[in-house]
Amino acid sequence: MLVQIGFYLLAWVGQAAPSSHFSTGLLLQKIVSGQSLNGYTLQSVWVESLAKCSILCSANEACHSINYEVGAPSIGQCDIIMCSTDSNDPNLVTNTGFSYFGKIPIGSAPVCGPCTSAPCHNGGDCITGVSATDFTCSCVPGFTGATCEQNIDECASSPCLNGGTCNDLNNQYECDCQPGYTGSDCETDINECSSIPCMNGQACVDLVNGFSCNCTGFTGTLCEADIDECLTSNGGCSDTCTNSFGSYVCSCPPEKYLHADGLTCCLPFWPSGFYGLPRVGPLNESIPLDGCPTIGSEGFVWSTGDRYFDTENTFSSNSWTTGIHFPLTYGKDDIRLHFCMKTTDYAAICVPNTWPTGSYCLYRASGQACPTGFEDGWLKWDDENIFNSNSFSGELPYGIYDHNTKIHFCCRDDDSVSTPIHLPTDQPFYMFPKTTGACQAVMGMTSILELFHFDCEDYLIAANSLVDTGGNTPYLSTSGVNVDLYICYYYK
């Protein structure tokens, strides 16, 4: 017998249903009596009839079979089940008064099994095991556990650097970075200097979540304001301070020069080292009798000496520039050269360590190398052979002083002779020219090129009697037996 309820049909075992009745509705067939299917129940309710239980199943798309308490006197228990199975299912248990009804044909509904109840969480795939109750879960990345119930904490390894906060997500994490850092793991310090925030070309120092400007000559957070350095201790200048944009300069009056420290104005001093100058003769009472400079030589005393040349005695022809400023110890057949030799050294802020570049020569000090920048050279005079009366006294330039005379010089030619150099200007002095006919310009001084002609021995009695030169010498001329020695006189 078939009972049609709405669009749903209920079939009793052993009774055929017209095929036309199967076009619509849900067809259930009693699978087994005295048992019910456990473990897959969606809902349990009390109903008045089996037909009512069938209607409830039809109204639920997830329902594919039912347990019904067929022996109930008035109302019976109706279990709405999510799958359908056959009489061999181990989950069918003895339950007096109940029958289990499954979908017809069997297999047209989801088959009951361990995966039917979707035991795997969070998107995991359920895999049926060997037995009817065994299953395993294949978890999607980011989850673990027997039923994929545990979210893997990707923050457990503390991946966020530099104080960043880690937020655990599904199969990933996200870092909330502290201010000043960026990157997936907050690994990159943001370079706040990349925008070049410091003004006026000043240096920017990148900090964490900030920057600072190292200002020189400027002030302000961004070095935006010029500092007038001259307002504080005159900028450190010993004389005139002039402010400029971002800096300042020190300058000196004409009689002084600016020291290499850029701050100190110096009166010229004789440079440090060991060397000699020709002595100037006492032409008037304003010049000391010793003829060596005193102004600009504080800290040391010139050592003096002289060399007497016995020049040619026969038909003597020594000559000199009119008004020459040699000491008055020379004549037609002899001459006494006087020397101012610097044999001690001293140090002071305004004492230059080296001579300035230029084109000029000095005497070489005995037992000493030439000062830095100079090269050695020498001149040999052939003095009188007969009744030679050469003599010397005091401190002499490096050389040989016997019946002939050999004197060493220190010369340089590394800058224009017309470029003024700074030397003391309070007293006259001598230096030797290096360039033909030209005296080295000295700031604040006027120069005169003077000449002394040495009439050397006329008769050659030995190979070493010839006048000779070597190395880097002052400007001079020789004729083989005579010497023209040029000298520059400096005065204000």
Instruction: Provide the phi-psi class of 159: left if phi over 0, else alpha when psi is between -120 and 50, else beta.
Output: alpha
The pLDDT value recorded for residue 13 is 34
| Predicted local confidence at residue 447, as pLDDT | 96
**Tokens coding 306:** 């002289």
Domains of the chain: 3-103 (3.50.4.10), 192-225 (2.10.25.10), 228-266 (2.10.25.10), 275-491 (no CATH)
The predicted structure's pLDDT at residue 29: 84
Per-residue pLDDT band at 206 (split at 50, 70, 90)? very high
Rounded to whole angstroms, the Cα distance separating 214 from 211 reads 10
pLDDT at position 10 is 42
Alpha helices in 201-242 (DSSP H): none
Flag whether pLDDT at 4 surpasses 50. no
Residues, the chain: 492
Written as six digits, the tokens of 438 are 């030209």
Cα–Cα distance measured from residue 16 to residue 457, given in angstroms and rounded to the nearest whole number: 163
Q: How many helices (H) and strands (E) does the chain have?
A: 1, 37
State whether the Cα torsion 148-153-156-158 is positive or negative. Answer: positive
Give the pLDDT score at 464: 53
Pairing of strands 391-394, 334-342: unpaired
Q: Indicate if the pLDDT at residue 257 is higher than 70.
A: yes
Confidence of residue 408 (pLDDT cuts 50, 70, 90): very high
Phi, psi of 450 (to 5 degrees): -115, 165
Q: What pLDDT does 332 receive?
A: 83
Q: Is 196 left (phi over 0), alpha (psi -120 to 50) or beta?
A: left
Look at residue 285 and tell me whether its pLDDT is greater than 80.
no
* Burial of residue 293, with CB atoms counted within 10 A of its CB: 0-12 exposed, 13-18 middle, 19 or more buried: buried
Q: Which residues contact 268 (CB under 8 A, 6 or more apart)?
A: 256, 257, 296, 422, 423, 424, 425, 443
Over residues 248-253, the mean pLDDT reads 94
- Answer yes or no: are the C-beta atoms of 204 and 211 closer than 8 Å: yes
- Nearest Cα to Cα of residue 155 among 141, 143, 169, 144: 169
Tell me how far apart the alpha carbons of residues 342 and 395 are, in angstroms, rounded to a whole number: 9
- Nearest Cα neighbor of 21 from 29, 5, 9 is 9
Over the stretch 454-463, which tens digit does the pLDDT of each residue have?
888 877 655 5
For residue 75, the SS3 value is coil
Judge contact between 431 and 462, C-beta under 8 A.
no
With 60 as the cut, is the pLDDT of residue 349 above it?
yes
Share of the chain above pLDDT 90, in %: 55
pLDDT of 284 > 90? The answer is no
Residue of 389, 357, 386 whose CA lies nearest to 374: 357
484 pairs with which residues across the strands? Answer: 453, 477
From 181, 10, 167, select the one nearest 103 (Cα to Cα).
10
pLDDT at 443 over 50: yes
- The more confident residue out of 2 and 154 is 154
* pLDDT for the residue numbered 109: 66
Please tell me the least confidently modeled range out of 71-85, 391-405, 413-427: 71-85
More confident: 454 or 19 = 454
Centroid of chain to Cα 108: 77
Taking alpha carbons only, the member of 300, 276, 321, 262 closest to residue 429 is 276
Find, among 482, 460, 487, the residue nearest to 317 by Cα. Answer: 482
Helical (H) or strand (E) element with 338: strand 334-342
According to DSSP, the residues that pair with 340 across neighbouring strands are: 277, 304
Q: What is the pLDDT of residues 128-186, one digit of tens each?
A: 876 657 889 999 999 999 999 999 999 999 999 999 999 999 889 999 999 999 999 99
Query: φ and ψ at 465, to 5 degrees?
Result: -85, -15
Tell me the C-alpha to C-alpha distance, in Å, between residue 332 and each of 336, 384, 392, 456, 465. 12, 13, 19, 11, 20
**Distance between CA atoms of residues 441 and 426, nearest Å:** 16
**Averaged pLDDT, 338-353:** 85
pTM: 0.55
Report the half-sphere exposure of 105 (CA within 13 A, side-chain side): 1
Q: Which residue has the tokens 């300058």?
A: 251
Residue 14's pLDDT band (boundaries 50, 70, 90)? very low
With 80 as the cut, is the pLDDT of residue 23 above it?
Answer: no
Please give the single-letter amino acid code of residue 468.
D
Between CA 9 and CA 28 the distance in angstroms is 7
Distance (Å, whole) CA 378 – CA 473: 6
pLDDT computed for residue 431 by the predictor: 97
